Amino acid sequence: MGRHEPARTLTLTQNRVFIFPTRAGFWFLFTALVILLLGINYENNLVYAVSFVLLSLFVVSILHTYSNLAGLSITALSARPCLVGENAEFELLLRAGRRRTYEALQLSWIEQVPVNCDLIDDTERRVRLYAPATERGWWRPGALLIETHYPLGLLRAWTWLETDFRALAYPRPLAGGLLPPGVGSGERGTVASGRGSEDFAGLETYQKGMSPRHIAWKQLAAGQGLHAKQFVDHADEQLWLDWTFWPELETEQRLSRLCYWTLRLAEQGVEYGLRLPGVEIAPGSGGRHRHQVLRALALHGQASQ
């Protein structure tokens, strides 16, 4: 399998395209040769003509099959991040050579289902390929296989391309665990539901069973009736996800647990931050902040940040 240096844009030239008969092609050649031997044996011009037509058709197929790849340009456009175990999406741009059309092209990563496409009416086309991410961090899908059996299926033309393609794979979420108490930042909060004990929030009609310490004696003395003081607690909206949580877990499991809580807090719209060894991301929210936190988890302990 011929390999070349990875590149962002590649054009298929003669030294990149390989061609070889398929099983049907070998049977086609065998049949043509048998007919030729029969023609020689019986000295029959009609049998000669049939065998020569078949052999000429095979030679012409070589040229057409090769031309169905030659001159094609492939550009790596983008890769969408994913979780480990999910399919990463890669987008390619196919651009036809000058005054060329391409039919029945098949593109695939190693051991993945191929995607079929044509370039007949358009000079370029975007193609999306998928491959499951198997490990955390920057993940490369490997070599790209482009092949064709056009026009008769007698020959297979193909090439392997090393594209400069990589996708960011976030840790696989590991459900479970609870956020330790007191993980709020203390910078911003909202009123928590239920009765609290911190800040005075107003008066309410005294009900039997309420603590006598909460009776509003001044209002009672002023003849305003029996009331009780109402207090509320404030719950922080900003939370911290810290590397020191769940020390019983191994490194990868701890990253997966932090990834799980990142996705959960992001879904709830809570502001959260992240503390890892050597990395601190201030509390925030939204898609960009979520990606920043997940990226830090994905690249933890790796050289490329």
132 and 29 within one domain = yes
Task: Name the residue type at position 169.
Answer: A
215 and 104 within one domain = no
182 and 294 within one domain = yes
130 and 277 within one domain = no
User: Where does a domain end: 181, 202, 232?
Assistant: 232
Helix (H/G/I), strand (E/B), else coil: 173 = coil
239 and 205 within one domain = no
- Per the structure block, which two tokens stand in for 177? 């665990």
Predicted local confidence at residue 181, as pLDDT: 61
298 and 178 within one domain = yes
289 and 183 within one domain = yes
**Count of domains observed in the chain:** 3
pLDDT tens digits, residue range 123-143?
889 999 998 998 899 988 888
Predicted local confidence at residue 124, as pLDDT: 86
299 and 217 within one domain = no
180 and 289 within one domain = yes
Average pLDDT over residues 229-256: 77
Predicted local confidence at residue 195, as pLDDT: 46
Burial of residue 256, with CB atoms counted within 10 A of its CB: 0-12 exposed, 13-18 middle, 19 or more buried? buried
Least confident of 9-13, 85-89, 253-257: 9-13
User: Where does a domain end: 183, 210, 232?
Assistant: 232
Least confident of 2-6, 128-132, 225-229, 240-244: 2-6
Predicted local confidence at residue 39, as pLDDT: 87
pLDDT tens digits, residue range 27-72?
999 999 999 998 888 888 888 899 999 999 999 999 999 999 998 9
Q: Which of 187-191, 199-203, 261-265 has the highest mean pLDDT?
A: 261-265
Q: Give the sign of the dihedral formed by CA 106, CA 109, CA 113, CA 115.
A: negative
Range of the domain at 225: 193-232
Residues 6+ apart with CB under 8 A from 76: 8, 9, 90, 92, 163, 164, 165
The model's pTM is 0.69
4 and 103 within one domain = yes
Place of tokens 């305003």: 224
98 and 175 within one domain = no
Q: How confident is the model at residue 188 (pLDDT cuts 50, 70, 90)?
A: very low
175 and 49 within one domain = no
Predicted local confidence at residue 209, as pLDDT: 60
- Whether the upstream peptide bond of residue 151 has omega within 30° of 0, thus cis, is yes
